[in-house]
Structure 1
Amino acid sequence: MRLSRVVGSVSALALTATLALLGAGPVQAAEKTATPGYVALGDSYSAGVGAGSYDSGSGNCKRSTKAYPALWAAAHTPASFAFTACSGARTGDVLTGQLGPLNASTGLVSITIGGNDAGFAGTMTTCVLNSESVCLDRIAQARAYARNVLPAQLDGVYSAISGKAPSARVVVIGYPRFYRLGGSCFGGLSETVRSAVNDAADALDTVIAKRAADHSFTYADVNTTFGGHEICSGSPWLNSVTLPVDESYHPTAAGQAQGYLPVFASAA
């Protein structure tokens, strides 16, 4: 009996040592399956404006339970989740009001930012209320801002994120094209304007993607999922002009769940 106990103990120790060498020990297995802390930064596209179901505690930031950060966190139960994205946010607002939750243990960060700096909300208002020529001039101004001014502003935000969360995987997400050209819309903006708006969105995304790459961040292109679901398509995932007006040209709940979430989940 004593000999069998000794043999059994030796066998158990040998098995434990073997599992540890193979990386299958209980502690290491837990470490591999643990989801790190997640912080969601950015503007209305990350907050979920346009998707409804807003958290009353978020006030004018209009954070939605149907926004892609909330959906991802609910599905993956990260060690911690801080949702600081806010409607209307610009790069300066991220720097002054959203980075507090970041720290050395933050493992994942998402962000959409830059559209408000370039003035795309004002651009769309101008286009809806004014002539085609005035609209095209305003689009050109937004593109010039994105090309000449925005890169340095993005650098400031991205550097601050790296400084506060040096170990985090940072996923920078772009903006979708608004319109399906040759689609089902009748009236409203001309096809010329719709094409110019799409080109400006592409130009903005190009700037954002380049700055993200230079900071070794991952860029996620949502046009891969929004294709065929733009305004003027048969099943749009973006609001056109709507009430409340701040929800215009923002993803619907379907746009968040089927447009943004899969792209973020793949990159995360």
Structure 2
Amino acid sequence: MRRTRLVTLALGVAAAIGATLLASSPAAAAASDRYVALGDSYASGVGADSYTSESGSCQRSSNGYPALYNTNVHPAAYRSVACSGATTADVVNSQLSALSTSTTLVSVTVGGNDIGFSSIMTTCVLSGESDCIAAVAAAETKVRNELPAKLAGVYNGIRSHAPSARVVVVGYPVFYQLGTVCIGLSANSRAKIDEGINLLDDVIKTAAAAAGATFADVRSQFVGHQLCSYGDKWLHALNYVNLSVSYHPTAAGQSGGMYPVFRSAAG
């Protein structure tokens, strides 16, 4: 009888602990989340195809990392207002209104358009090495001198609109794997472009930390899948037929590169 009572007690304690852990687990928290996605084309999913009809020129893809989170985790509420071409000013002026005091999870990828990602790559492709390096160097000056305050405006705006939300800032993948045989841009141009993206991500990471947000660093996740790598490419190269997808993650890049890092950071 005593042994039976001890076994029953042990099972009861184990069940109670299990229930507590389940209630406090990330999955349980995620299921009750009210999630809003903000940002630019890397957040909307440009390059990943399957664009939703309601998104129009914003090109929100069902294969983008925010939509994948909604599909796989099933939060209580989900809305993406991420839009191709968005800058930090666009997020502040046009996207923050999607947030509310009931929002519990926010993701944002932004900053690349503020420094002219697209125009830099156009210069690098159409002009020579010296023009490419000069264009990246000019962008790096903007990243150091102008971007921190703009990012702070975004992150502080998110906090004021959704004071109780977990905020995950998702970074950008580095485009090129260096040290490989690769046609197209020169090795020096590719190295300078990578340097600029790394600086951008580092500045975003610092600004996110200062605002109390979590930085989801996707750079290591893309290693082996970058342009000029020998593995499956998770980024579009220059696409003359559809220029807008150039240097954006493919559907595999969103599902294998962006989404897992965001999912882990979201908790």
Q: TM-score range by the shorter chain?
A: 0.7 to 0.9
Letter of the aligned partner of 1:189 in structure 2?
L
| Alpha carbons 1:40, 1:83 under 8 Å: kept | yes
Structure 2 counterpart of 1:14: none
CA spacing shift, 1:183–1:40, aligned 2, 3 Å? same
Corresponding residue for 1:99?
96
Tell me if structure 2 keeps the 8 A contact 1:37–1:80. Answer: yes
Partner of 2:145: 148
**Letter aligned with residue 115 of structure 1:** G
Q: CA deviation at 1:24?
A: 5.2
1:163 alignment partner in structure 2: 160
The corresponding residue for 1:256 is: 254
Please say if residues 23 and 29 of structure 1, whose CA atoms lie closer than 8 Å, have aligned partners that are also in contact: no
User: Alpha-carbon deviation of 1:109?
Assistant: 0.6
Are 2:80 and 1:83 aligned?
Answer: yes
Does 2:39 correspond to 1:42? yes
Q: Deviations over 1:229-261 (max 9, x none)?
A: 100112110001013101000000000000000
Question: What is the letter of the counterpart of residue 223 of structure 2?
Answer: G
Quote the offset at 1:22 in angstroms. 7.5
> 2-side partners of 1:53 and 1:261: how far apart?
16
- C-alpha RMSD of the superposition: 2.0
Higher radius of gyration, 1 or 2:
1
Report the secondary structure of 1:38's partner residue. Answer: strand
SS at 1:109's partner residue?
Answer: strand
Q: State the shift of 1:35 in Å.
A: 2.3
Residue 221 of structure 1 corresponds to 217
Give the 4+ runs in structure 1 shifted more than 4 A: 21-25, 28-33
Determine if contact 1:35/1:76 at 8 Å carries over to the other structure: no
Structure 2 counterpart of 1:199:
195
Give the unaligned 5+ runs of structure 2.
1-12
Distance (whole Å) between structure 1 residues aligned to residue 225 and residue 52 of structure 2: 26
| Match status 1:211 vs 2:186 | no
Deviations 1:73-103 (A, max 9, x none): 1111111101000000000100111112211
SS state at 2:104 partner: strand
Q: Secondary structure at the match of 1:260?
A: helix
Give the drift of 1:29.
8.3
Q: Percent identity?
A: 51
Give the Cα–Cα distance (whole angstroms) in 1 for the partners of residues 97 and 76 of structure 2.
17
Cα distance, 1:43 vs structure 2: 0.3
Q: Distance in 1 between matches of 2:177 and 2:32?
A: 38
CA–CA distance in structure 1, aligned partners of residues 67 and 263 of structure 2: 12
Q: Which residue of 1 aligns with 2:6?
A: none
| 1:206 CA displacement | 0.7
Deviates more, 1:232-241 or 1:208-217: 232-241
| 2:4 counterpart residue number | none
TM-score w.r.t. structure 1 length?
A: 0.88
AA aligned opposite 1:245: L
Tell me which residue corresponds to 2:9. none
CA-to-partner distance for each residue in 1:84-134, whole Å, 9 max, x for gaps? 000000001001111122111111110100000011111000110111111
1:239 maps to 236
Which amino acid letter does the alignment assign opposite residue 125 of structure 1? T
How many pairs does the alignment contain? 247
Counterpart of 1:251, as a letter, is P
TM-score normalised by length of structure 2 = 0.88
Q: For residue 202 of structure 2, what is the amino acid of its counterpart? A: T
> What CA distance in whole angstroms lies between the structure 2 residues aligned with 1:107 and 1:84?
16
Q: 1: distance between equivalents of 2:181 and 2:54? A: 38
Letter matched to residue 194 of structure 1: R
- Aligned counterparts, 1:129-148, within 5 A: 129-148=126-145
Which residue is equivalent to 1:8?
A: none
Alpha-carbon distance in structure 2 between the residues aligned to 1:174 and 1:57: 26
- Offset from partner CA, 1:196-241 (integer Å, 9 cap, x none): 0000000000110000000010001101210111001121100010
1:51, 1:253 within 8 Å by CA — same for their partners in 2? yes
SS in 1 for 2:191: helix
